[in-house]
């Protein structure tokens, strides 16, 4: 449990206990389960709030709650990533821009766009609403494992994400995907659509990062989480599917 609690403490503002310690290699496999914890909290809030307000307002509050529970950790990475990757500069300059704590215009646009897509998609989400709110944060954070496995770390001099790349992820690190897939069965035929959509999002992000700068950083991982989350909510809200 100590590694699970450490993972909770690292990527959320939830208490992880006083005895937790930082062991990246053993924390990383629990990221999908931490996503499920976040999803459970937001789904519970969504169910309760739906008795008080209309879906549009409840969906907005869901987005705010998810950002608060994560301490805007991934959102910060999304802003830095947009400023860097869309600056049309060299790899070295992109990494410098992402390291700058200030948020530029592209970062603000990206954050606003992704959060707005989440809000709009959640407002349209009807079938299996609570179950999807529960599962999708888990899938979004599961993508981190594949990026760590497939891409080198971009800051050899050090950075927030460097400790997670010092030891390669072994096959058992991906066992956290088993609960996600098992719980998705309750979605019926939509489970395959969710899993396929998630696979495409993760593969596309890894391909883009490799093509653009040939590496990944903590900011890029955060951007992948946020964009995958928004894309999956949007996919699941599509009426024709």
Statement: residue 19 has pLDDT above 60: no
pLDDT at 35: 95
Q: What is the mean pLDDT of residues 189-207?
A: 95
Q: Give the contacts of 170 (CB within 8 A, at least 6 positions apart).
A: none
- Nearest one of 42, 33, 37 to 67, comparing CA atoms: 42
Statement: residue 108 has pLDDT above 90: yes
pLDDT at 69: 96
Distance (Å, rounded) from C-alpha 20 to C-alpha 124? 39
Residue 216 forms beta bridges with which residues?
153
Distance (Å, rounded) from C-alpha 31 to C-alpha 58? 26
pLDDT at 101: 79
Q: pTM higher than 0.85 for the full model?
A: yes
pLDDT at 116: 97
Statement: residue 239 has pLDDT above 70: no
- Nearest one of 121, 79, 103, 148 to 229, comparing CA atoms: 121
pLDDT, tens digit (0-9, with 9 covering 90-100), for 71-107:
999 999 999 999 988 888 888 888 888 888 788 899 9
To 5 degrees, how large is the angle CA 110–CA 142–CA 122? 50
Statement: residue 1 has pLDDT above 70: yes
Statement: residue 20 has pLDDT above 60: no
* Residue 203: HSE in the Cβ half-sphere, 13 Å Cα cutoff: 6
pLDDT at 6: 87
Q: b/e for 6-30, b at 16 or more Cβ within 10 A?
A: bbbbbbbeeebeeebeeebbbbbbb
Q: Give the contacts of 27 (CB within 8 A, at least 6 positions apart).
A: 3, 6, 7, 10
Q: In the structure encoding, which two tokens stand for residue 77, read together?
A: 């990475």
pLDDT, tens digit (0-9, with 9 covering 90-100), for 28-67:
889 999 999 999 999 999 999 999 999 999 999 999 999 9
pLDDT at 130: 95
- Nearest one of 58, 81, 4 to 36, comparing CA atoms: 4
pLDDT at 17: 59
Residue 153 forms beta bridges with which residues?
216
């Amino acid at each position: 449990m100590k590694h699970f609690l450490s993972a909770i403490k690292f990527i959320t503002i939830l208490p992880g206990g006083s005895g937790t310690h930082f062991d990246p290699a053993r924390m990383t496999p629990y990221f999908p389960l931490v996503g499920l914890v976040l999803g459970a909290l937001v789904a519970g809030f969504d169910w309760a709030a739906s008795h008080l307000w209309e879906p549009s307002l409840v969906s907005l509050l869901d987005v705010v709650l998810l950002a608060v529970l994560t301490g805007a950790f991934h959102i910060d990475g999304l802003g830095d990533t947009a400023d860097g990757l869309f600056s049309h500069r060299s790899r070295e300059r992109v990494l410098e821009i992402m390291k700058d704590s200030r948020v530029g215009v592209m970062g603000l646009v990206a954050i606003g766009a992704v959060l707005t897509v989440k809000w709009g998609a959640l407002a349209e989400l009807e079938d299996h609403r609570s179950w999807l709110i529960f599962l999708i944060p888990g899938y979004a954070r599961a993508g981190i494992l594949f990026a760590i496995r497939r891409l080198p770390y971009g800051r050899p001099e050090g950075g927030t994400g460097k400790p997670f790349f010092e030891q390669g992820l072994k096959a058992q690190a991906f066992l956290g995907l088993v609960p996600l897939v098992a719980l998705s069965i309750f979605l019926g035929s939509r489970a395959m659509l969710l899993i396929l959509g998630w696979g495409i999002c993760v593969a596309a992000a890894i391909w883009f990062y490799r093509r653009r700068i040939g590496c990944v950083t903590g900011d890029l991982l955060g951007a992948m989480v946020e964009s995958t989350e928004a894309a999956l909510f949007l996919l699941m809200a599509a009426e024709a599917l």
